Amino acid sequence: MNPILKNVLAVIAGVVVGSAVNMAIIMISGSVIPLPEGVDASNAESLKSNIHLFETKHYIMPFLAHALGTLVGAFVAAKIAANNKMKFSLAIGVFFIIGGILNAKMIGSPLVPTLVDIILAYIPFAWFGGKLANA
């Protein structure tokens, strides 16, 4: 297969699989750590208007979703990529960190959980995903 095409497919697969993992964890998060009364995790307006009700425990599952989604997406991208495997893993991390920043701004997430998420969930887990794939 053409290396350029293979690399493009690696990025697409990494984003799709990583997003699916992220979403799956977010979907089950309410049953693991119940959200405050009246909060709908699938509705950005509900999150935005009720973010003041969140406690520290409510940020654990989103962090895991972001970290594990990035990890799996980066792993998939590195496994598929024809060359520069670690660069493609890190590209997945950059893609997800941009999404994380935009999402945090959209819902008005508090500064500390946002910084922890941005600093620890994306690039480190993308790097780890690349290492797991032997990039």
Q: Convert the pLDDT of each residue in 12-51 to its tens digit.
A: 999 999 999 999 999 999 899 999 998 888 888 999 999 9
Cα–Cα dist 14/18, whole Å: 6
Q: Look at residue 42 in the predicted model and tell me its pLDDT.
A: 81
Residue located via tokens 């893609």: 95
Question: Buried (b) or exposed (e) across 52-75, using 16+ Cβ within 10 A?
Answer: eebeeebbebbebbbbbbbbbbbb
For the whole prediction, is pTM greater than 0.85?
Answer: yes
Distance CA 54, CA 93 (A): 26
CA distance 49 to 124: 31
Please say whether the dihedral angle defined by the alpha carbons of residues 112, 115, 118 and 123, taken in this order, is positive or negative: negative
Specify the higher pLDDT residue, 47 or 9: 9
Please write the tens of the pLDDT for every residue from 41-90: 888 899 999 999 999 999 999 999 999 999 999 999 999 999 999 999 99
